Amino acid sequence: QVQLVESGGGLVQPGGSLRLSCAASGSIFSINGMGWYRQAPGKERELVAAITSLGRSNYADSAKGRFTISRTKNTVYLQMNSLQPEDTAVYYCNTAPSTKNYWGQGTQVTVSS
């Protein structure tokens, strides 16, 4: 079973950037869809970006033009630019569609001046 560990979150000012990383304990090369999700306080967890094993990506409307997802053999990245306060959330990676047993602790992203 693959374990996923997210990192790279932090406090950033509006307009700033962060790069999130998701390290897999094993190879995710054979997993077709990988995604980044986020959950803001009081809201449902939502898919922000996903990428297939062939490199095809898709994004939530809120992320289009600002976020970029990428992957290697055992890591998934999320480059986030032009961050806004509404991007504040805990960010998780998982397969896409998600796998129940793969949820990790996530990484907190806070956008505030």
Give the model's confidence band at 73: pLDDT under 50 very low, under 70 low, under 90 confident, else very high: confident
Q: Which pLDDT belongs to residue 40? A: 97
pLDDT score, position 45? 97
Q: What pLDDT does 30 receive?
A: 78
Average pLDDT (73-84) is 95
Question: What is the rounded CA–CA span in Å between residue 77 and residue 23?
Answer: 9
In this structure, what is the dihedral angle of CA atoms 65, 44, 91, 113, given to the nearest 10 degrees? 70
pLDDT of residue 10: 98
Q: How many angstroms separate the first and last alpha carbons of the chain? A: 40
Residue-wise pLDDT tens digits, 4-52 = 999 999 999 999 999 999 999 877 777 889 999 999 999 999 999 999 9
* Residues 77/71, Cβ–Cβ less than 8 Å: yes
